[in-house]
Structure 1
Amino acid sequence: MADKDRKRVAYYPGCTLEGTGHAYNRSTKAVGKELGLELVELKNWNCCGAMEVKNIDNQVQTYLSARNLAIAEEMGFDTVMAPCNGCYHNLKKAEYDLEHNPTAIAANQRISQKAGHATYHPGKVETIHALDWLIDAVGLDEMARRAQGRLKGMKVANYYGCMYTRPRHIFPEKDKGPGSESTLKPHFMDDILAAAGAENVEFPLKTACCGGAHALSDSDISTRLVLNILETAEACGAEVIATECPTCHTGLEMHKVRAEKTLGRKTNIKILYFTQLLGMAMGLSAKKVGVNENYLDSSDLLKSKGLG
C-alpha cells in the first residue's frame, strides 16, 4: 500500500452523505475520531457529477470531479478520501481521463479558466476510499486491538457494489499483490470486520450490481437485483450485509421492503454500514454511529450480539 501518512486527509463526503447516506457520514467521522484520525472537509466542494451528468456530457463530469481535486490541492493535501463508491469512482476516473484523454484535458482547462480557478493537473492528489484510509492510517492489528473481538459470532456478507473495482484500469493501485486490494475479489472490508471479530461468509455477489442506476427508470429491475443479493447472502448463512456505499445501502434497504410488498419475497437479513459495525465493535453506541438513521431496524440483531 501507499507509504503516505493517512492520519490527516482531505474529506470529500459527496452529495449522498449529506442526504440519504448521512448515517455513513456520521459513522465514518465517529470511527475516525475514535481512532485519532482527522478528516478535513473540502471547502466549497461540488457534486462529482454522479450518474446523471456523464449521461449528458462526460467532459463536464470530469471537470466537476477535477475541481474537487483542485480544491484539495489548494488546501495543501495530496490525498482526498471519498467514502461513496460513486464519488470515489468519479474522482479516480477524472484522474485517469486527465492523463489519457486530450478532449477531457482541453475541456477541464477551458471550464476551469471560465470559472476563474486553477486548472487541476493529474498526479497532484490521490483519491482513496474509506477502506483504504482505515487500513493505511490505522492498520488491521490496531483495529483488532481496539475492537477486542466484539463482533465475534456475527456472520457477515460483505457487499462492495459494482463501482468499487470497475473499470479496473482507473484503479492502478489495486491488484499489486499482497497488501493491495483486489478488483476480482475485494477483501479490505472483509479484513477490517474479521479484525473486529466478525465471521465473514463466502459471498459470491460481493461486486454484483444493486441496480442503483435503474432505480428511477425501472424500479422492478432494481428490486430483482437487490432481492438476488439479499437472498444469496441469507443462503450463505449471513445475518447482516455490510455495505460501504450509500447508494447501495439505500437501495438494499428500500428494495428489501419493495420486494416483500410487490413480489411477496421476505428476507430477514440486516443491512449496516461497515463503519457502523466497526464503530460499535470499538465500543461506540449504536446512536453514535447513526444506526437509528438507517431506514430498517436492526436493533434485535445488535442486542443479541451485545452491541448498541
Structure 2
Amino acid sequence: MKINILAIESSCDETSAAVISDGKVLNNIIATQSVHEKYGGVVPELASRAHQQHLIPVVHQAMEEAGMRKSDLSAIAFTQGPGLMGALLVGGSFAKSLAYALEIPLIAVNHMEAHVLAHFIDAPYPSFPFICLTVSGGHTQLVLVKDYLDMEVVGETLDDAVGEAFDKTAKMLGLPYPGGPEMDKLAEKGNPEAFPFPITQMKGLDFSFSGIKTAVLYFLRDRLKEDPGFIDRHLQDICASVQHSLITMLLIKVRKAARQFGIHEIAIAGGVSANSGLRAAINLEAKEKNWKVYVPKLAYCTDNAAMIAMAGHYKYLEGRFCDREVSPIAKMKIGNHG
C-alpha cells in the first residue's frame, strides 16, 4: 500500500499544499498573498485571514491534481513552527481537524528542517554528512546534517536574519516589497566594490547582520544630505555593494564550517538561496575548494508545502507521529523532535 501524505504550509505569507506518494512529490500548490505589498512587509493578522481564504482551495487543487480522494491519504503533515502564530494556527488547526476526521496519523514538521529536506525532492541529492546554509527572512543557520532527521545547528545569527537585512535595505532604498529579489536584480548590473560596507565577524560559526543595516542607514542619511538624488543615480551600485557584503559574511562561515567538520558537501536552502548572487558566489567557491554544492529548484527555496511533505515522508517512515490533541503551533528548534 502506498504512503500518501497531504502536507500543509502556512508559517508566513504563503498558503501551500502538496501531496507526496512513496517519497515522490506529486505537486506543490502555492497561493501568494499580495495583500502585504502596500505595507512593505508581512502584516500577521492579514496573513492569518488570507490563509483562511486560500487554504481549502489549495488543498482541493493539490488533491485533485494528484488524482486522490481523502480516503487515499495515509497521514497529514503540517508546519508546527517556527513562524507567525496566527498563520501557523490556521494551517495546524486545519491539519488536526482533517487527520481527526479521517482517523489517520498527524505529523508535525519543523519548518527549518523542511527547508533542508527540500534537497531530497529532486536529484541530485547530497550525501551525509553535509553542511546546509539555511537562509531566509527570519532565520540564518548553519546546519550539520547527519541524516534525514538527525540535524544539528552549529551556527546561527545572534540578531537579525540575512533575509531581513536584504528586505530592510531594500525598504530604505524605496524598492517595492518583497525587496530582496528586487535588490538581487539591480545588483546584477552594479559594481559590488563601489561602496565598502562592513563585514561583521562573530566568534565561532555564528552570524550578525544588525550592524550592516545600521551602516546602510547612516550611509544613506549622510549621502542624501549632500545629494538628494544620490540613491537614484547609484541604486545598482548600492544594491551590489550591500549584497556583496552580506554574501561575504555568509561564505566566510561556510568555509569555516567546511574546514571544521572536514565536509565537502555543501547545500543552501531557504528563501535567500534563490538569490542569484549567492548562488554564483557559492558555485565559484565550490570550484576553488572542490566542494559539491546543492541548491533546490527555485520553487522549493521559498516557503512551500513540498518540503513539508518530504519531511513528513521521512517522519512517517520512522513513526514520528504526534497526538491529535497536540498544539497546532510550537517554538520548534532543529534537533528537538519532541
Q: Same fold (TM over 0.5)?
A: no
Greater strand percent: which structure?
2
Larger radius of gyration: 2
Q: Which has the higher contact order (CA 8 A, sep 6+)?
A: 2
TM-score (norm 1): 0.39
TM-score (norm 2): 0.37
